[in-house]
């Protein structure tokens, strides 16, 4: 390693926008807007990829669609069914990954017979 001696360099430009890749995560920095740390941290964990994908699909289905003239499109039975199916898939995957968050069953137990 070279030893820095003498007078420091003038006009040293500090990098203000950069990303640091740690393999399993990527940290995005913009020191102009966020001087104390990263503004975005992306984690690459394949166990939660499917859950995240299902979440974004469900959110996209929930957001209203519009015609070219700006009027809101009506929600059809088909789109409702797609929404319900996506929500069911999302919660199935969620409870598979987080079994402790499954809601408790309420009410009477079924009769044996």
Inform me whether the pLDDT recorded for 59 exceeds 80: yes
- 45-64 average pLDDT score: 91
Inform me whether the pLDDT recorded for 9 exceeds 80: no
Alpha-carbon span 36 to 43, nearest angstrom:
20
CB count, 10 Å around CB of 54? Answer: 19
Alpha-carbon span 74 to 71, nearest angstrom:
9
pLDDT value at residue 113: 62
Inform me whether the pLDDT recorded for 31 exceeds 70: yes
- 14-41 average pLDDT score: 91
Which of 79 and 111 is assigned the larger pLDDT?
79
pTM assigned to the model: 0.59
């Amino acid at each position: 390693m070279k030893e820095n001696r003498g007078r420091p360099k003038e006009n040293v430009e500090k990098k203000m926008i950069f990303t640091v890749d740690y393999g399993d995560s990527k940290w995005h920095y913009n020191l102009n807007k966020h001087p104390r740390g990263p503004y975005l941290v992306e984690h690459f964990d394949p166990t939660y990829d499917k859950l995240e994908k299902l979440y974004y699909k469900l959110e996209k289905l929930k957001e209203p669609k519009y015609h070219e003239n700006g009027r809101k499109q009506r929600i059809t039975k088909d789109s409702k069914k797609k929404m319900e199916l996506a929500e069911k898939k999302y919660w199935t995957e969620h409870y598979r990954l987080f079994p402790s968050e499954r809601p408790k069953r309420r009410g009477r137990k079924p009769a044996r017979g």
